[in-house]
Structure 1
Amino acid sequence: MDIKDTISNWLQELSATETIPKSIKGLYFGLKGTLEGYAIYLTGAKSYDENDDDWACEIDYEPKNKYLILPVQDSICQWTLLKKTRETLKELLANHKLKSQLFNKFDHIALGFDDGELVTVK
């Protein structure tokens, strides 16, 4: 299974099982290295500040299935993984079914490595 299919299945599962509180203003997809390679995770924050990436450090929402191990080589460059994951998320979040079920109310969705700068997904 490739990264797009893996993330798509995860987002569909979250869409079917999660309700994000109305108080959440921004979603953050974090990337991090693990013993298995790389993982992506989802959190939500009650505040959003386009000039301060620290909003993503506020964890006011976490889904039960927060983490997903990504099917990528350990040797992949972090910038390549960030770019590929961003493109995948942008495409998947534009999908009407996912958008209407879980992600439709969010204007602020970001992605990044825990120790790096955020990039805008939406």
Structure 2
Amino acid sequence: MWLNIVSAAIKDLFSGQISDFLSYGSLVLGDLEYLLHQHFQRLSESEKQVMSWLANQIKAVEISKKAALLELSPSEFLKAVESLRRRSLIEKVQKGDRAIFTVQPAIAEYIKTHIL
């Protein structure tokens, strides 16, 4: 569904020119904003905290590097990460023998512009 929305925006706003879309200074979310808003509203407070923290990371991070400023117990933090993974809202990337986590760019953009 996301691909259909983005492809429609590329066709409509950028006359089908993918390079123009990619060179645009900000990510165009269009109808995705509504979908992301619905998903974000259903998250628990701990899940929202984890999402916001991950969205502000420059690179993918190990969950063992949890920021001290997150006011979550280790148990709450891990439950939130597991729940977000099940919902496909955060991504796990294998880097050697380590697992690192990140937020997809569209989701990070939404969080940065609408939540923070």
TM over 0.5: no
Higher strand share: 1
CA radius of gyration, larger in:
2
Q: TM-score, normalised by structure 1?
A: 0.27
Does 1 or 2 have the higher relative contact order (CA < 8 Å, sep 6+)? 1
